[in-house]
Chain A
Amino acid sequence: MPDINIETIKAALGVDIQKAGSLEELEELRIKYLGRKGLLAQLTSSIPALPPQQRPGFGQAANALKNKINSLLEEKSKSLASVKGEVVFASTVDIGLPGIAQDLGRLHPITQVVDEICAVFTNMGFSIVEGPEIETEHNNFTGLNIPLEHPSRDAFDTFYLKSTKTSGERLLLRSHTSPVQVRVMKARKPPLAVVVPGRVYRPDATDAAHSFMFHQVEGLVVDKNIRFSDLKGALEFFAKSVFGQDIKMRFRPHFFPFTEPSVEVDISCIICKGKGCSVCGRKGWLEVLGAGMVHPNVFKNVGYDTKKYTGFAFGMGVERIAMLKYGIDDIRLFFENDLRFLNQF
């Protein structure tokens, strides 16, 4: 006969359970009593040695003991857990194994930035509109007060399209999103508040800072009492929403043919916080958008009454904003679509 029997186990169990002060200690007890080489296993391993007539009775008693141990352990573990406020789980898993993959794709960083910019303005009550990428010379230039043979056009080098027709206006790939201003104003009467995201094209040789295709977001507000101060406030709200509450801003006079007065908007460099670094060209400022009060000639071209209405417009390059926001140093990365790049956003 082994020197362990049901009674000694019972006695020891009572003491052990009492003493156990943590779930870990309780787990040790479980192994001590119910483990593969535990006390109960040792007990049952003695069954074959018993006389046949004693075996069923002993077996039942051992089983009852096992149940008792289990219930005592469970009870104790519940009381311990309730002290710690933890839920007790039935089984464990090797959490070191890879998780069962739930694929998550990602929107392109440009789409994410476009959406973020548009959301700032839709929160202010703007509507999103879009326009075609193939445009007329009128909408892209003359309608916007950019005369065809004028130095102001130098900033807007343009891809023209081969036409199979002999008559009609020359068609081109829009070099900015501003032609949508002309379209919207021709189609609707004020009040207007729209943002226009989209692809634009300029024949620039590709390098780290230039791409012949890029994205812009344009904005236009027209109503009876739209003031330059409204432009400043709306753009401050935009810049702080996108770049953070702490940035500083400055509004510099500038020239755009389709706005008067015109302004370029700088934010304090988000990399060096205005101290001067290579990103901001040691100036401490980053130019993020151009804007201005809609030029009366633009209103005249779409048949708006310049005595009645005023408005402001703005435009920004999405790639530039994304590059600043995420610290990307090469515009080509956006169009290479390397998954190791895309998966970072």
Chain B
Amino acid sequence: MKFTYNWLKEFVNIKISAQELADKLTMAGLEVVGLDQAGEDFVFEVEITSNRPDWLSVVGIAREVAAVTGGKLKLGARLPAGQAGRSVIGAGENRKPKTDNRIMTIKIEDKKDCPLYTARIIRDVQVGPSAGWLKHCLESIGCRSINNVVDIINYIMFTWGQPLHAFDLDKLNSDTIVVRRASSGEKLTLIDGAEKLLDKDILVIATPDKPVAVAGVMGGKDTEVGLGTRSLLLEAAVFNPAVVRASRRKLAIGSDSSYRFERGVDLGEVEHAASQSAKLITELAKGKLVLSKSSPVSKVKVKSVTLEGACVEKILGIDKIPAEKIKKILSSLGFTAKMQAKNKFKVTIPSYRPDVNQKEDLIEELARIFGYENIPNTLPAVIPQTNPVSPRDLVCRVKDMLVGLGLNEVITHSLISRDGLSAQILRQGEPIEVLNPLSKEQEILRPGLALSLLKCVAHNLNQRQNHISIFEIAKGFCSVSGQFKEELRLGICLCGTKPHFFPQGLVKDELGFLHLKGILEAIFQCLGIKEYNFRAKGVGQIEVLVKKEQAGIMVSPSAELLDGLDIKNRNVVVAEILLERIFAFADLTKKFNPLPQYPGISRDISVVLKEEISSEEVLRYIKEKAAGLLRQVGIADYYKGRQIPPGFKGLTISCFYRAQERTLTEAEINPLHARIAGILQEKFGAQVR
């Protein structure tokens, strides 16, 4: 909201500069986000929090200024309550001024929607340009001057916070005003020219025939005040904030008026604002007030809150705040604090403070004016908790390890397009859709991470990166028989050729499945997961199993998919792991095994095998058959090429033998080792080299 220094000064004495005032208001919670000099004046722009509707007016800000500066309020100074009267007339009672035989009836369908409706009839107005001061006043805060009547209404709204509306009474052509919900199918063309379709969520002002305005939001075009207007119906009312909000949202239009109604208009100020504006209209547009009419007002209960000084001290953490100080601050803000017992007050809340309902609200008021900066800084006495290992701890472990292995962490959006669903791997359940996406790119809550990672790869290939190793740990989302599920996933994507400079020269390392496998094995190791394996599952897919259960998948995406992402002539591999599933098997307990007392003997065996025989199977078979002294089996070398016939591969298997209680001799090992060669020949048709 904007206001000017001089406008404000009409309602409160200010002895400090505009800049000093801006700083003080900001530190009291009324944040000044802009301060510009405009000739002799200064224009303030303030950000108003949604709990303070009273600050949506110059008068409301003047009250705050009075509280923070100690300046004197002069609310009666320029616009004393008009003689036009605060006449509140009950239903059925009509005051008929002698000059007019018109009878006005106000019908309110539901008092909850409209707690108060007042109407004033002003005749013989001369609609024309505004007086210079009024025009200047409005233009200084960026409000376009329209004509004297509309300008007065806006001026009163900005000054007192009460939105008003003026109908052209002749165009209205009715002596009955109805405040009701619209029926569905009704239409209304608004002042801005847009025709709106109405329904029962929208509150309207209507004649018995048709709606003429959307209550609290905007008036209708047909009854708009213009240069030819002679008679006015001036509306000042209070509408239910939630209803105005619903109308505004439904119609997708907002106004200064709806903004104020949504936040809450002070019932206690309606009559005053209305009479002020009627007075100004009679002065500046030469009209005559001929009728004032109001719906009956239910008695408003005056709110009060009990406040104890000790409680203020306890919650704020201040040593001692004198009772007089509490009283002084509260009364400067318009509250009345009556001492009930020692340092205990009954505080009466003015009607313009709907936000104050309990002692905490008053404590904030005290703290604001006392100054947050005057409250000491202490440290909370936190009692630390012992926590079991959480998934987050494991995630941190995995992340740190992946980074150590040279991968970069990425963070990608969780929302994807519907098209992206076809590129998901390790799918579970049904996708979850967003009801109100901003664009087609954000329609679906992604089931997995693979596509997002591939997109990162594509982006980086475009930036001429040769080798990309990235990972992300984030949620995958799906719906399983109507139940929404979110589960942590790990995605890894490798692409390109990694150069290694060795003293012998450059070695190019094309990233592929074995790199992925190595990375996953490192993860299993760091989580203490021992029982896992990798199983080919169709072309370009390898299943990752932990304790024989599927825990993830490694995929080499199809050329078609890569093409669609503009990844050309590149080998890409992706792994996606259900982290929570493998975390279930994580075992971080460590137990020391005594180091062996006696040395072991390492022996290699080189064989030529048919290409399709899996090395893993060979190792597993050896382990099975040669338990006992054989402690470790591993692949020492793997080769294809000149010395190996096509369709075969060369494998060097290293075997490590050790006995627990003695040093092994060659003589003991030789037959054992020979037996392994025999097993390999028998089982796999291996040729020992």
Contact = CB atoms under 8 A, between A and B. Distances in A.
Interface of A: 97-101, 103-108, 110-111, 115, 124-130, 132-134, 149-152, 154-155, 159-165, 171, 173, 191, 193, 199, 201, 203-205, 212-213, 221, 223, 225-234, 236-237, 250-255, 257, 260-263, 293, 295-296, 310, 312, 334-340, 342-343
B421 to A, nearest CB: 14
A152 B263 CA distance: 9
B645 interface: no
Nearest to A106: B408
Interface in B434-460: 434-438, 442, 445, 456, 459-460
B377 A232 contact: yes
Contacts of A336: 459
A100 B364 contact: no
Given A201-B414, A253-B364, A335-B411, A229 B434 contact: no
Contact of B379 (A126, A237, A251): A237
A60 to B, nearest CB: 37
Contact of A107 (B52, B246, B409, B442): B409
Nearest to A224: B381
Contact of A106 (B409, B432, B433, B445): B409
A159 to B, nearest CB: 5
Given A134-B484, A159-B436, A293-B315, A107 B412 contact: no
Interface in B292-320: 314-318
Contacts of A107: 399-400, 403, 409
Contacts of A251: 372-373, 375
Given A130-B392, A132-B486, A228-B367, A160 B360 contact: no
B50 A154 contact: yes
Interface residues of B, number: 92
A338 B384 contact: no
B374 to A, nearest CB: 10
B435 A159 contact: yes
B208 interface: no
Given A134-B477, A260-B361, A250 B414 contact: no
Interface of B: 26-29, 31, 49-52, 241-242, 245-246, 262-263, 314-318, 358, 360-361, 363-364, 367-368, 372-373, 375-385, 387, 390-392, 396, 399-400, 402-415, 430, 432-438, 442, 445, 456, 459-460, 463, 465, 468-470, 474-475, 477, 479, 482, 484, 486, 498-503
Contacts of A154: 50
B482 A193 contact: no
Given A105-B409, A296-B358, A128 B392 contact: yes
B51 A255 contact: yes
B436 A250 contact: no
A154 B410 CA distance: 31
B459 A229 contact: no
B482 A252 contact: no
A263 B372 CA distance: 9
B413 to A, nearest CB: 5
Given A103-B405, A104-B406, A111-B409, A337 B436 contact: no
A106 B242 contact: no
Contacts of B484: 134, 161, 171
A305 B380 CA distance: 20
23 contacts: A98-B501, A101-B499, A101-B501, A105-B403, A107-B399, A108-B408, A111-B399, A125-B383, A134-B477, A150-B242, A159-B415, A201-B415, A227-B316, A229-B317, A231-B380, A232-B376, A232-B377, A252-B372, A253-B368, A260-B360, A335-B413, A338-B459, A343-B408
A165 B463 CA distance: 45
Contacts of B375: 228-229, 232, 251
A9 B396 CA distance: 68
A154 B463 CA distance: 40
B197 to A, nearest CB: 21
B648 to A, nearest CB: 33
Given A105-B407, A128-B392, 15 more contacts: A105-B404, A124-B379, A134-B445, A163-B482, A164-B479, A171-B484, A203-B437, A226-B380, A229-B378, A232-B378, A234-B379, A237-B379, A261-B316, A261-B363, A337-B459
A236 B378 CA distance: 9
Given A111-B399, A164-B482, A234 B380 contact: yes
